[in-house]
Amino acid sequence: ENYVKELETDVLIVGAGFGGIYLMHNLRQLGSKCKIFQASTNLGSIWHWNCYPGARVGSQVPIYEYSLPEIWKDWYCSCRYPGTDELRQYFDHVEKKLDIKKDCAFNTRVVGADFDKPSGKWIIETEDGRTAKAKYMLLALGFAAKRHFPDWPGMQDFEGEIHHSSFWPDAGVDVKGKRVAVIGTGSTGIQIAQETSKEAASVTNFVRTPNLCLPMQQISLTREEQDRRKETEYEEIFKNNRLNIFAGFQYDYIEKNTFDDSPEEREAFYEKLWKNGGFEFWLANYKDLLYENKANREAYNFWAKKTRARISDPVKREILAPLEPLHAFGTKRPSLEQNYYEMLDRPENQVIDCKKTPIERFTKEGIVTTDGKLHKFDVIALATGFDSVTGGMKNMGLRNVDGVELSDTWKSGTYTYMGMTLSGFPNMFFLYGAQGPTAFSNGPTCVEIDYCDSTRQAEEEWREKVIELSDKTLFPQTKSWYMGHNIPGKVREQLNFAGGCPLYRELTQASLDKGFEGFITA
Ligand code: NA7
């Protein structure tokens, strides 16, 4: 271990994913003494935990990488959307370049933090009873730091294997010839169902809300092609996606509304987006897609036509791609799939409509739905997601200057200033979290945005802004983790900044230009 029982440092960073590493790199250059605490055993955070079958990123090469040339210049990927193994190798590559690990304490989970006013320092406790003192505490937890396990009765009785997607054994689970259940249809559930169908005897997907999946259009990448793009495009892509693009991708909404085009033009445009694949149909569509119901419905109809044509079983087709949408397209995170629909369409595989027949309980043999039917399984994958965006921060024993837990101060709603600071938590900053562009945007782009600390009034105004921007969109109509709907008892509110990366950058810059408006210095 490279840190002592009682550590003193200038800056303590929590989390060694994209955000934590980037912070460390920049702070070192400014001459600060920093340490990272990371709950898992290696760099890469979520990609350390995400090793379930088929885990793959939805941002294409090169944007799911740092924009630092010393890192991308000699990094190559085998395909447009890399999977876990390659993403882990990427973090090994980053380590070679930035030498981060020497200042990281792995297997180190923060369980409490108090700001000691007399010394002006954070006192941070870890699960294994160590403490750290730091002038600044920076949280880089990502938005999926707390798992969500629905507590169905009888789960502990199940005699087969049961794993949450983010606790999947590193050595893998042998599903060959086994009956596999996949609960959930977020990006994770889709990937697990698609991948395990290759080997399992049967896969049963429990679907509460069908995912409006988009075609990934995965392709292999050659080294030559990547070299050519590095020469000609990379600098521009990285610059552009930080400064100009709503969601920090390589593409953006077009300057046209859906019905500005004729039906033929619209069809041709949708076809183009579909063929390009990835999130283009979501994030490079007409600019009114997420704002106007009629426009959204038009896109949904195209999506349903394309998808329904891939499912021959009429019952499965109605559950997975109904003619009438259950939510506005794009207001829940679409997953990128490769052959999910063809796989589930196979006769040996099942789709259970959890809206009609929810899961009632588990037994030693499997899962009983509310129609009394017992579904028998050997392996159950819980792809039930996370207490997203706010769960991680609420779960680490953070207390404000008056000793009140963050989980209490946020009881009636989330308040931050610019998605970076919290009033009453001096010298604590976070990124890629609550009320920042976070879950609507490409991760690495968000963590490379500069930031700054806040007054209660500034927080209240920021919250109003977050709500105002969100209310203009169709997101509030939909029950989703973006809106806190997936966790029982969680406040229903917009957890993300829906104004896009460029506006976010503009607002943070404006505060800096006005001499740190909204911030207080002690
Ligand atoms: P998600 O997107 O939160 O998906 C969780 C899924 O689990 C979702 O389909 C839920 O249905 C389903 N779920 C949760 N509880 C239940 C119960 N009780 N019964 C049936 N189904 C249930 O998590 P992921 O891990 O897939 O993805 C997280 C993000 O990480 C992803 O979007 C990427 O950005 C990276 P629901 O939709 O709520 O009806």
Measured from the CB, is residue 384 less than 6 Å from ligand 1? yes
- Tens digits of residue pLDDT in 312-346: 999 999 999 999 999 999 999 999 999 999 999 99
pLDDT score, position 515:
79
- The three-state secondary structure class of 113 is strand
Phi, psi of 152 (to 5 degrees): -70, 140
Q: Relative to the CA of 187, which ligand 1 atom is closest?
A: 26
Whether the per-residue pLDDT at 369 is higher than 50: the answer is yes
Residue 468 pLDDT exceeds 60:
yes
- Band of residue 443 on the pLDDT scale cut at 50, 70, 90: low
Q: Are 433 and 389 in contact (CB under 8 A)?
A: yes
* Per-residue pLDDT, 2: 47
Query: pLDDT above 70 covers what percent of the chain?
Result: 96
Q: How buried is residue 423: exposed, middle or buried, by Cβ count under 10 Å (0-12/13-18/19+)?
A: buried
Within 10 A of 379 (CB to CB), how many other CB atoms are there?
A: 20
- Closest residue CA from atom 23 of ligand 1: 385
pLDDT tens digits, 191-214 = 999 999 999 999 999 999 999 999
Question: What are the tens digits of pLDDT across the range 108-162?
Answer: 999 999 999 889 899 999 999 999 999 999 999 988 778 888 989 999 999 999 9
* C-beta of 152 in contact with ligand 1 (< 6 A): no
The ipTM of this complex is 0.97
* Rounded Cα–Cα distance for residues 252 and 249 (Å): 7
Amino acid identity, position 225: E
Per-residue tokens: 129: 């009873």
pLDDT at 429: 92
Nearest CA to 476 out of 324, 287, 331, 298 is that of: 331
Ligand 1 atom nearest the C-alpha of 485 is 38
Alpha carbon 343 to its chain's center: 25
386 Cα to the center of ligand 1, angstroms:
7
What is the chain's Cα-based Rg? Answer: 23
User: Chain-wide mean pLDDT for the chain?
Assistant: 92
H helix count then E strand count, the chain: 17, 17
Structure confidence by residue, pLDDT tens digits, 244-295: 777 778 889 999 999 999 999 999 999 999 999 999 999 999 999 999 999 9
pLDDT in tens, 20-79: 999 999 999 999 999 999 999 999 988 888 999 999 999 999 999 999 999 999 999 999
The DSSP element (H or E) to which 513 belongs, if any, is helix 501-513
Handedness of CA 80, 83, 85, 88 (dihedral sign): positive
Q: Is 450's pLDDT higher than 50?
A: no
436 within ligand 1 shell (Cβ under 6 A)? no
Is pLDDT at 445 greater than 80 in this prediction?
Answer: no
Atom of ligand 1 nearest to the CA of 385: 23
- In which band, very low, low, confident or very high, does the pLDDT at 448 lie, cut at 50, 70 and 90? low
C-alpha 178 to ligand 1 mean position (Å) = 23
Q: How far apart are CA 61 and CA 58, in angstroms?
A: 10
Ligand 1 center from residue 80 Cα (angstroms): 25
Strand locations in 62-201 (E): 104-105, 110-116, 121-126, 131-139, 161-164, 179-183
Closest ligand 1 atom, CA of 481?
Answer: 3
Q: Give the model's pLDDT for residue 291.
A: 96
Containing 10, the helix (H) or strand (E) segment is: strand 6-14
Pure H helices in 156-233: 187-196, 223-232
Q: How far apart are the first and last CA of the chain?
A: 35
CA 387 to centroid of ligand 1, rounded, Å: 10
Sort residue 186 into left (φ over 0), alpha (ψ -120 to 50) or beta: beta
pLDDT tens, residue by residue, 409-442 = 999 899 989 888 899 999 999 988 788 776 666 6
pLDDT for residue 180 is more than 90: yes
Residue position matching structure tokens 């409509």: 353
Residue 500 has pLDDT above 60, yes or no: yes
> Would the CB of 454 count as within 6 Å of ligand 1?
no
Task: Tell me if 359 CB under 6 Å of ligand 1.
Answer: yes
Token digits of residue 361? 């309980």
Provide the whole-model pTM. 0.91
pLDDT for the residue numbered 504: 87
More confident residue, 278 or 485: 278
Express as a percent the part of the chain with pLDDT over 90. 74
**DSSP run (H or E) holding 336:** strand 336-337
